[in-house]
A and B are shown apart, each in its own frame.
Chain A
Amino acid sequence: EAGVAQSPRYKIIEKRQSVAFWCNPISGHATLYWYQQILGQGPKLLIQFQNNGVVDDSQLPKDRFSAERLKGVDSTLKIQPAKLEDSAVYLCASSLVVAQVVGEQYFGPGTRLTVT
């Protein structure tokens, strides 16, 4: 079974530029998550989708971050404009939903963003 795919794996941009990350979840997984992991910290949830809809985006900095999940499969996370403090690893995860209960989360390899 293929795992969660993410691209690119690495990205270096200058502050005030924009950047986009792509995630393809495990086939059949209705729930998709984006996490931000700053060096030395645990991952922090940015946004959670179930199918096409947003379940939780309370920790997403909406003035600069946006995310979408078209057709309930792939998802894109965008940052515009980027700040130095956005330097982090961006992790995508997916999980099955059974009887309205979210199951184990499976993570992709992440995208390491460096903002200079």
Chain B
Amino acid sequence: KQEVTQIPAALSVPEGENLVLNCSFTDSAIYNLQWFRQDPGKGLTSLLLIQSSQREQTSGRLNASLDKSSGRSTLYIAASQPGDSATYLCAGQTIADGLTFGKGTHLIIQP
């Protein structure tokens, strides 16, 4: 059974810093990995999807990497802004199953 762990659980940094959020998973048979953003009281917004054949995906200031052999993914946020404050969730999927989520990293960007 897939298990997903996210570290750290919470992070507070000054505006402008680059930061890395970590995600680890136990089942290397992962088919894809998604990073989501969740604002308080809101649903999930998909940020990046990495297929198992890929090693990374980029969207604007966000870059996500996937290393199946080590069971790890990272989300890199460049030049952080207060609007980036949210909870970031990592989720892994095998070929035909639903997503298995981590508990998330609660990120606060201080102005």
Contacts and interface: CB of A to CB of B under 8 A. Distances in A.
Contact of A107 (B4, B43, B100, B104): B43
A24 interface: no
Given A100-B96, A101-B95, A104-B34, A42 B101 contact: yes
Q: How extensive is the interface on chain B, given as a class?
A: 20 to 34
B43 A102 contact: no
Contacts of A72: none
Contacts of A108: 43
Given A41-B103, A42-B102, A108-B43, 16 more contacts: A40-B103, A42-B103, A43-B89, A44-B101, A45-B98, A45-B99, A48-B97, A91-B43, A102-B97, A104-B32, A104-B34, A105-B93, A106-B46, A107-B43, A107-B44, A110-B42
Say what secondary structure dominates the interface of chain A: strand
